Amino acid sequence: MNDPLDILDVDALLTDDERDVRDLVRRVADERVRPHVAGWYERGSMPVRELAAEFGKLGLLGMHLTGYGCAGASAVAYGLACTELEAADSGVRSLVSVQGSLAMYAIWRYGSAEQKDRWLPGMAAGELLGCFGLTEPDHGSDPATMATRARRDGDGWVLTGGKMWITNAPVADVAVIWARGDEGVLGFAVPTDTPGFSAREVTGKMSLRASATGEITLDEVRLPDAARLPEALGLKAPLSCLTEARFGIIWGALGAARDCLSVARDYALSREQFGRPIAGFQLTQAKLADMVVELQKGQLLAFHLGRRKDAGQLRPEQVSFGKLNNVREAIAIARQCRTILGANGISAEYPVMRHANNLESVLTYEGTSEIHQLVLGQKLTGLDAFGG
Ligand SMILES: Cc1cc2nc3c(=O)[nH]c(=O)nc-3n(C[C@H](O)[C@H](O)[C@H](O)COP(=O)(O)OP(=O)(O)OC[C@H]3O[C@@H](n4cnc5c(N)ncnc54)[C@H](O)[C@@H]3O)c2cc1C
């Protein structure tokens, strides 16, 4: 199949297995998500459990983890799955990212054997849902200043505080909660039916509407010591989970961009003004050309970082590089495609404005562009500019 958006033959860099994963996830996204997602977006709700169960059957949850029913796929295969899911909608990819790369990864990497046995198989199957609570109402980019506290209580712990903007929180069975104890930042796998734990849905979102986002309140939540993630001590634990999830975003954002570009190209070929298809105007072609250049540069970058990850050599600043570039370019592509569709560009009949709006969240979560610029700036200069 000759893909007009693959001028560089990036497809040729994939193995047959990787191509199979991509094709499978593309088909599932096309059949199960694409026909319904505009409605979910408009209503601000989606069948999270149903989708999770289906994604679980396909091995997409915790896909790159090993054991406990996880697929043990390569990083590149996982990235390709993220691309195809986000080509349908960023909210659907967020569901998979948060489940696999944040909640499951945290338990898989920092949990006890009992915690892994208790949560991971059900989460991999999509029968149990997880969320990851780091951000707070007053502490976003600077989680080191978090106000949520973990206090020792006999053999156990008491959590007090709150988390904000937590994907999957309203539907989760287990919440990975990060809190400050006397020893530093600690992580807990909190069953969401624990007394004192509550999650309310964040409403009024203009972005990522096909995604359940919640505000968590922790009102003297009493937990046994067995709920604490024993290997997690210090902020580097949640930050390492974010590095995992950012990797998926590097690939996912390009799915949204690719979908916009594909729609805009088709539209430009069929829409006539001044007696000819608008695709025949030089200014439209300049837009399309610039966009395919950025899309494919982003794909090559994602692919390079994926191969580094599979070789066990990916560094956090390289992930920052990828997230900064690919999300920034994806949102620029979505906005530019919007112009090509004219008035139809703002209609829910086309996915372009939905993708553009979704990418506003993707630009902000998992470290804003500014934070990733600061990571790279520090690497380049040796100077920490986070404080000003
Ligand atoms: C839809 C959605 C889902 C989310 N899901 C989750 C989730 O599942 N779990 C979770 O823990 N969090 C989640 N988040 C939260 C997200 O990670 C935070 O919004 C993000 O870290 C930014 O924090 P903030 O919104 O408080 O912005 P702030 O930190 O207040 O930043 C505001 C602005 O100031 C800039 N800024 C901040 N510090 C600096 C600096 N030192 N130098 C220059 N500029 C700076 C930022 O770049 C930004 O432009 C989600 C957010 C959204 C929108």
Q: What is the signed CA dihedral for 63, 65, 71, 75, rounded to 10 degrees?
A: 60
DSSP sequence for 87-110: HH-HHHHHHHHIIIIIIIHHHHHH
Task: Please provide residue 175's backbone torsions phi and psi, each rounded to the nearest 5 degrees.
Answer: -115, 125
The answer for residues whose C-beta is within 8 angstroms of residue 35's C-beta and 6 or more apart is: none
Q: Output the ligand 1 site: residues, CB below 6 A.
A: 98, 132-135, 140-141, 165-167, 208, 213, 361, 364-366, 368, 370-371, 374, 386
The answer for residues whose C-beta is within 8 angstroms of residue 56's C-beta and 6 or more apart is: 124, 125, 126, 127
Which pTM does this prediction carry? Answer: 0.98
Residue 63 pLDDT grade (very low, low, confident, very high; cuts 50, 70, 90):
very high
Q: What is the overall mean pLDDT for the chain?
A: 97
Among the residues of the chain, which ranges form H helices?
16-28, 34-43, 48-57, 75-88, 90-97, 105-110, 113-125, 236-270, 282-310, 316-340, 352-364, 369-381
Best residue among 364, 369, 371, 386 to mutate for probing ligand 1's pocket (most ligand atoms within 8 Å of CB) is 364
Rounded to whole angstroms, how far apart are CA atoms 350 and 354? 8
Phi-psi region of 282 (alpha: psi -120 to 50; beta: other; left: phi over 0): alpha
CB–CB of 209/41 below 8 Å? yes
Percentage of the chain with pLDDT > 90? 99
Cross-strand bridge partners of residue 213: 167
Rounded to whole angstroms, how far apart are CA atoms 92 and 99? 11
Q: What is the pLDDT of residue 1?
A: 57
Rounded to whole angstroms, how far apart are CA atoms 258 and 277? 21
Residue 78 pLDDT grade (very low, low, confident, very high; cuts 50, 70, 90):
very high
For Cα atoms 49, 263, 16, give the angle at the middle one, nearest 5 degrees.
65
Whether residue 235 has pLDDT greater than 60: yes
Closest ligand 1 atom, residue 163 Cα? 11
CB–CB of 362/246 below 8 Å? no
- Centre of ligand 1 to C-alpha 366, Å, is 7
Which two three-digit tokens encode residue 385? 């500019």
Tell me which of 136, 215, 244, 366 is the catalytic residue: 366
- Centre of ligand 1 to C-alpha 367, Å, is 6
pLDDT digit string (tens) for 263-283? 999 999 999 999 999 999 999
Task: Please provide residue 158's backbone torsions phi and psi, each rounded to the nearest 5 degrees.
Answer: -125, 125
Q: What is the distance in angstroms between the CA of the first residue and the CA of the last residue of the chain?
A: 51
Nearest Cα residue to atom 35 of ligand 1: 370
Percentage of the chain with pLDDT > 70? 100
Nearest Cα residue to atom 4 of ligand 1: 165
Residue 2 pLDDT grade (very low, low, confident, very high; cuts 50, 70, 90):
confident
pLDDT digit string (tens) for 139-182? 999 999 999 999 999 999 999 999 999 999 999 999 999 999 99
CB–CB of 180/132 below 8 Å? no
- Centre of ligand 1 to C-alpha 364, Å, is 5
CB–CB of 351/33 below 8 Å? no
Nearest Cα residue to atom 43 of ligand 1: 370
Q: What is the pLDDT of residue 249?
A: 98
Mean pLDDT of all residues in 79-104: 98
CB–CB of 303/13 below 8 Å? yes
Annotated catalytic residue 366? yes
Best residue among 89, 97, 102, 135 to mutate for probing ligand 1's pocket (most ligand atoms within 8 Å of CB) is 135
- Centre of ligand 1 to C-alpha 205, Å, is 15
Residue 367 pLDDT grade (very low, low, confident, very high; cuts 50, 70, 90):
very high
Q: What is the pLDDT of residue 388?
A: 77
Mean pLDDT of all residues in 249-264: 98
Rounded to whole angstroms, how far apart are CA atoms 142 and 189? 22
Which two three-digit tokens encode residue 40? 């979910």
